[in-house]
Structure 1
Amino acid sequence: MCGILLHYLGDRKDITLADDELIEFEEDFEGIKSCSNIDPIFNSMISDIAARGPNYSSFKVSKQYSITWFSSVLSLREPFTKQCVEIKDRYVVQFNGELYNDEIQYNDTQYTIQLLKEGKEIIDVIRKLDGEFAYTIYDIQNRMFYFGRDPIGRRCLSFSIDNETGELYISSVTGCKTGFQDCIAGTIYKYDCQLKELNTDSKISKPFYVSEELDDENLSHLDDNVEKLYTHLLDSVSKRVVSIHPAHIQNSPISVLFSGGLDCSVIVALICEHFKQSIRHKNLSKTIELLNVGFENPRTGTMPKDVPDRKLAISSYKTLQRLYPEIDIKLIQIDVSYEEYLKHRPKVIDLMYPKQTEMDLSIAISFFFASMGNGYLYNEEKTNDEIMPYERKGIVLFSGLGADELYGGYHKFANKSTEELVKELTKQINNIYDRNLNRDDKVIAHNGVEVRYPFLDIDVIKFSTEELPINYKINKLILRKLAMNKLHLANICDEPKRAIQFGSKSAKMTKDGNKHGTDLLK
């Protein structure tokens, strides 16, 4: 995971870049404040970009090309690769994300660079990448910028262009700045510096995912499809685990955003299934951190320990412990006081922009505190006076996002006709980059971690949309069957859907309880 920030001056005359320079920050990031770019918009975004990559940052200026880059790195695969990467006199590349191409031997950035060095066309290289990513590539010879996001949009990226001067900004995080727009998932943006022209005709090979109207009225193929879905999901989880640098795996846990509900419990169980195979073959112990957040809500008088998601998380944690005694599963209870909520609220609002509704805030701030991971370790035998403070150690977080969109989990789907359900599910999965992923990646990555989404693996999406009958997607029937029959989560699989903002009590925090989720923030 990395942070991307790029500024091309175009024809602006009021800024003169200093001579070419490269400043690197590997430990002391205080020096970042002294970066010599004098553009206030660029400078205002540097600290948020640096937060996304706590292992390394660099500030690069090219007076010849009128470009400034700021890049940050969270190192997950060896060998460690500094960003940005210049291919002498040909390309300058920034890459943020994780790739799962079978032929990758080292890390994803080097894999991408090697494809470019082999002389492959930029668009062909981008289309070859399998994973969750965002990128900028500057073609020095042709004075072209290429930038964009993966076909699902699991990594955020935004841009701003001045049509008169040709000035261009590209950034992972923009804050509350007007003029920026989020990149559309799967679109390859191509900006011609000479013509001052943006072209968006090229796309990554991304089908428009359509939920088919197949219907297995007698559920005669349900068991077979449960087996197929299990195989797809286990493969999706496994490749997202093994692609983390082994040193990080051995020394720190895998973390999971954990409400205790069906989706995240399935993910935990699948990680355990993967770990069981690993333990069998390598005799390595494995640890999973379950990050559960609860808020003090002055409107309802609820304390963090009493919120619905805390109670459910404890129950589900005990089930998972019983099923997987050989795995070290830790439940991390993250309590957020109203004072802490107020303290961090402005920053979360800034990070999640352009989302600016009450609902977006209540979801984003839950993920913000959960990914921060400052809490205490659950131990049933300890009293409140004996709680053990605990700080998240995992740097890769797994999320169950995507299950509701693929398998009909939202309450509003309950009474829809087949035709209406097909239309809604098609809309949900194709718009998930804008509805959820832009916001979530910005607030989670700010804590120096990377989030991964097994349900949003392209193979999982294709199987779920193209092959599963529509009646399997009423109240997540197929996922509940998988949880019960394959993972033995019987007491979890019947839990009703509860949105995180209601389960953690981060919604409607004040006595002004007549607010609606769609209301704009004040």
Structure 2
Amino acid sequence: MCGIFCSLHVGCCGDTDNIHGRSNDTVYHKLSERLKVANAARGPDAQGTHHVRVQRTCSQAGEAQAPFPSKTCCPVLDLEFFASELRLRGDAHILQPHQQDGNVFCWNGEVDAHENDGAKLFQSIHTLSAMDDLPCLLGRIEGPYAFVYYHAESQKLYFARDTLGRRSLLIHKPSVLNPYFLLASVSVGDDQGYVMEELSTDGIFCLDVGQLYESKEITQHFDNSLTCIPRQVDRQILTFAKLNRVNTALPPDVPPLVPSLDHAILPHDLAIAVDNLIDHLDKSVMLRVQNIPRRTSSEKGRAQVAVLFSGGIDSTMLAFLAHRHLPLDEPIDLLNVAFQNPRKIQVQTDGNIGAIPKREKKRQLKAAEISGAIKESPSYLVPDRVTGLQEVEEFRRICPGRIWNFVEVDVPYEESQAARAAVEAIMFPGRTVMDLSLAMALYFASKGVGRVRMSAAPDDYQPYTSTARVLLNGLGSDELLGGYGRHRTAYATRGWQGVIDELQLELDRIPARNLGRDDRVISSHGKETRHPFLSLTVVSFLAGLPVHLKLDPRLELGIGDKMLLRLAARKVGLLEASMRKKKAMQFGSHSARMEPGEAEKRGDLMN
């Protein structure tokens, strides 16, 4: 995991401050320093900065016009590259940005588990016969990535995210008020100094810096200097250049029902699909948990891998498969978060006796907060804590010899509110109520600070901080396997065709929904999240399956939703997990609707 920051700013050849990133423009200078600090948090092991200056000779500069500083100064476009590193591959730190022959590369992604993939990929790009071959190279990368590459000879800047957008990269385009260009893995929140947006995953972007310089006006001519290069190249077989489409074949008129997960004899094609899913997912997990380097010898015997763990079928399946591929003497941390939610506690304590009007309930809740009554009786027995505790016991039965650290991350109300401003800044440009609910849960879970139970005694706990810097996340299974209620609704209204259409819509919008936000939030702790369900190989396999092999909306919840995954879990021995019903993370952890009135809130937090 790395943090990337790249900026392009107008300067003057006589302004030596620009070389060191200390622009005379106070707003730009302060903003760039804050952005470097924010992106350094993603890569605490090493950080580096490099500048490239694009300019004509001073004799040519007399014709310079605004916004260049003056006609007596040689105009300069100052490109600054900053990168931080969280070392999770290779035997040693390799400082970014990578540099050779004037070319500069900042990389945040996964190519090879055995060496520094940024250095390896930089050499591959550097040796391309032409930059037109870049899409072919990137189209063979299965793992997640975001990158910035400056090609010195052509004076062009290339940047992109992978087709699913599994790594964050934000962009600010020059404007009259903010006449500079910015790329960053994470922002500093809502700020007048920029208009940050998620970089589209539609293609590979190329900014012609040389052309922009010649235009003399970066604000007006920026869009003309920016192009989007298609990922797919004609007549080239590029396995990962684009996402496969969902299989549109309708099932037989009356597909056979699987009335129970215990059904001994499955239809032949479904039985094969179960085995194939286990194989694909097992390989995906293996690639994401093996060969993680230890920082120090003192980490031996401590967890290298953690799972964002609710006890639901997705996280349980990932934890079980990780168990297959990690040394038995290495613990696995199961990070389970629970929030002290005043609104939930009030309902649990008092219910709604006498159907108290909502306005009066809010007044009573506020009075309880002020009096401290809530603080005296916190409750962390949220739905995800209950299922998590149940599932860790199943693990201990079927995976003997493994230490499972069930890390109870309890978040007091005051602590969650104190962190709210920081979380809102990290998740930006995500800004909705739902963004905040999910980001809060991920922020505290990934921090990994909690307690573990040492024995069956009620109060036998020990404080615990997870050392794992790789976190497995089950995101993607609901979208690919039909785990949402809207898939059942689609079937009820439009039959199997409706389900197919909904699955395609889910796949199309994965890049624009949660992944960038989740990456920013989790990485703020110097951790890297990995998504085995979103391996492009797994995505391709599941997209290609006929719809009736993935789910069956005719069956009850806990069987028909994500039916294929439930059958797979059952086959590997996860009997209890295979039957659990879905709970959204924000509701399972009680991170949603914490304030009086939040049950009614919708939309944008920043309005």
Alignment TM-score > 0.5, same fold: yes
- Matching residue within 450, 469, 480 for 1:395: 469
CA contact (8 A) 1:288 1:328 kept: yes
- Matching residue within 106, 111, 116 for 2:120: 111
- Matching residue within 423, 431, 453 for 1:378: 453
**Which residue pairs with 1:290 in the alignment?**
334
CA contact (8 A) 1:17 1:66 kept: no
- Matching residue within 548, 563, 568 for 1:477: 563
Query: Aligned ranges for residues 502-517 of structure 1 at < 5 Å?
Result: 502-517=587-602
**Which residue pairs with 1:496 in the alignment?**
581
Separation (CA, whole Å) in 2 of partners of 1:270 and 1:473: 22
Query: Aligned ranges for residues 443-454 of structure 1 at < 5 Å?
Result: 443-454=521-532
Is 1:179 aligned with 2:227? no
Is 1:363 aligned with 2:414? no
Separation (CA, whole Å) in 2 of partners of 1:163 and 1:201: 23
1:29-71: CA deviation from partner (whole Å, max 9, x where unpaired): xxx9xxx996222122122101100111123333456111221
Counterpart of 2:334, as a letter, is L
**Residue segments in structure 2 that go unaligned for 5+ positions in a row:** 55-76, 213-224, 233-239, 257-266, 349-377, 553-560
**Which residue pairs with 1:462 in the alignment?**
540
- Matching residue within 262, 275, 281 for 1:227: 275
Range with greater deviation from structure 2 (13-22 or 211-220): 13-22
Is 1:269 aligned with 2:282? no
- Matching residue within 246, 256, 270 for 1:211: 246
Separation (CA, whole Å) in 1 of partners of 2:396 and 2:334: 12
Give the direction of change, closer, same or farther, for the CA distance of 1:220–1:126 in structure 2 (3 Å limit). Answer: closer
Separation (CA, whole Å) in 2 of partners of 1:324 and 1:94: 41
Counterpart of 2:564, as a letter, is I
Separation (CA, whole Å) in 2 of partners of 1:17 and 1:182: 33
- Matching residue within 207, 210, 230 for 1:194: 210
Paired residue secondary structure (1:306): coil
Superposed displacement of residue 404, structure 1: 0.3
Separation (CA, whole Å) in 1 of partners of 2:11 and 2:544: 49
Separation (CA, whole Å) in 2 of partners of 1:37 and 1:69: 18
Range with greater deviation from structure 2 (462-471 or 352-361): 462-471
CA contact (8 A) 1:212 1:470 kept: no
Paired residue secondary structure (1:39): helix
Query: Aligned ranges for residues 63-78 of structure 1 at < 5 Å?
Result: 63=53, 66-78=78-90
Paired residue secondary structure (1:405): helix
Separation (CA, whole Å) in 1 of partners of 2:28 and 2:477: 45
Separation (CA, whole Å) in 2 of partners of 1:110 and 1:520: 40
Give the direction of change, closer, same or farther, for the CA distance of 1:18–1:459 in structure 2 (3 Å limit). Answer: same
Paired residue secondary structure (2:456): coil
Superposed displacement of residue 251, structure 1: 5.3
Give the direction of change, closer, same or farther, for the CA distance of 1:134–1:519 in structure 2 (3 Å limit). Answer: closer
Superposed displacement of residue 146, structure 1: 0.3
Between structure 1 and structure 2, the one with the greater Rg is 2
Paired residue secondary structure (1:235): helix
Q: TM-score, normalised by structure 2?
A: 0.77
**Which residue pairs with 2:307 in the alignment?**
256
**Which residue pairs with 2:44 in the alignment?**
54
Give the direction of change, closer, same or farther, for the CA distance of 1:313–1:71 in structure 2 (3 Å limit). Answer: same
Is 1:128 aligned with 2:140? yes
**Which residue pairs with 1:142 in the alignment?**
154
- Matching residue within 495, 499, 502 for 1:421: 499
Paired residue secondary structure (1:134): strand
Paired residue secondary structure (2:380): helix
Counterpart of 1:326, as a letter, is G
CA contact (8 A) 1:234 1:270 kept: yes
Give the direction of change, closer, same or farther, for the CA distance of 1:251–1:55 in structure 2 (3 Å limit). Answer: farther
CA contact (8 A) 2:18 2:78 kept: no
**Residue segments in structure 1 that go unaligned for 5+ positions in a row:** 23-31
Superposed displacement of residue 187, structure 1: 1.8
**Which residue pairs with 1:92 in the alignment?**
104
Separation (CA, whole Å) in 1 of partners of 2:34 and 2:381: 39
Superposed displacement of residue 107, structure 1: 1.7
Counterpart of 2:566, as a letter, is R
CA contact (8 A) 1:15 1:39 kept: no
Range with greater deviation from structure 2 (36-45 or 449-458): 36-45
Is 1:156 aligned with 2:168? yes
Separation (CA, whole Å) in 2 of partners of 1:56 and 1:490: 44
Give the direction of change, closer, same or farther, for the CA distance of 1:19–1:168 in structure 2 (3 Å limit). Answer: closer
Superposed displacement of residue 348, structure 1: 0.7
Superposed displacement of residue 94, structure 1: 0.2
Give the direction of change, closer, same or farther, for the CA distance of 1:286–1:15 in structure 2 (3 Å limit). Answer: farther
Separation (CA, whole Å) in 1 of partners of 2:291 and 2:497: 39
Separation (CA, whole Å) in 2 of partners of 1:229 and 1:442: 29
Superposed displacement of residue 20, structure 1: 4.4
Give the direction of change, closer, same or farther, for the CA distance of 1:269–1:373 in structure 2 (3 Å limit). Answer: same
- Matching residue within 479, 484, 488 for 1:405: 479
Superposed displacement of residue 246, structure 1: 6.1
**Which residue pairs with 1:26 in the alignment?**
none
* Identical counterparts, % of pairs: 29
Separation (CA, whole Å) in 1 of partners of 2:387 and 2:83: 40
CA contact (8 A) 2:551 2:564 kept: yes
Separation (CA, whole Å) in 2 of partners of 1:455 and 1:44: 34
Separation (CA, whole Å) in 2 of partners of 1:166 and 1:156: 23
Range with greater deviation from structure 2 (337-346 or 167-176): 167-176
CA contact (8 A) 2:549 2:564 kept: no
1:287-321: CA deviation from partner (whole Å, max 9, x where unpaired): 11000000000112164521111011000111011
CA contact (8 A) 2:142 2:535 kept: no
RMSD: 2.5
Separation (CA, whole Å) in 2 of partners of 1:304 and 1:442: 29
Separation (CA, whole Å) in 2 of partners of 1:445 and 1:405: 23
1:412-435: CA deviation from partner (whole Å, max 9, x where unpaired): 211322112111111112211221
Give the direction of change, closer, same or farther, for the CA distance of 1:262–1:488 in structure 2 (3 Å limit). Answer: same
Give the direction of change, closer, same or farther, for the CA distance of 1:320–1:186 in structure 2 (3 Å limit). Answer: farther
Q: TM-score, normalised by structure 1?
A: 0.89
Separation (CA, whole Å) in 1 of partners of 2:399 and 2:151: 51
Paired residue secondary structure (1:333): strand
Counterpart of 1:201, as a letter, is I
**Which residue pairs with 2:408 in the alignment?**
333
Give the direction of change, closer, same or farther, for the CA distance of 1:470–1:188 in structure 2 (3 Å limit). Answer: farther
- Matching residue within 329, 344, 349 for 2:419: 344
CA contact (8 A) 2:109 2:143 kept: yes
Superposed displacement of residue 163, structure 1: 6.3
Give the direction of change, closer, same or farther, for the CA distance of 1:336–1:108 in structure 2 (3 Å limit). Answer: same
Give the direction of change, closer, same or farther, for the CA distance of 1:490–1:245 in structure 2 (3 Å limit). Answer: same
Superposed displacement of residue 201, structure 1: 3.1
Superposed displacement of residue 208, structure 1: 4.2
Separation (CA, whole Å) in 2 of partners of 1:289 and 1:107: 26
Separation (CA, whole Å) in 1 of partners of 2:546 and 2:404: 32
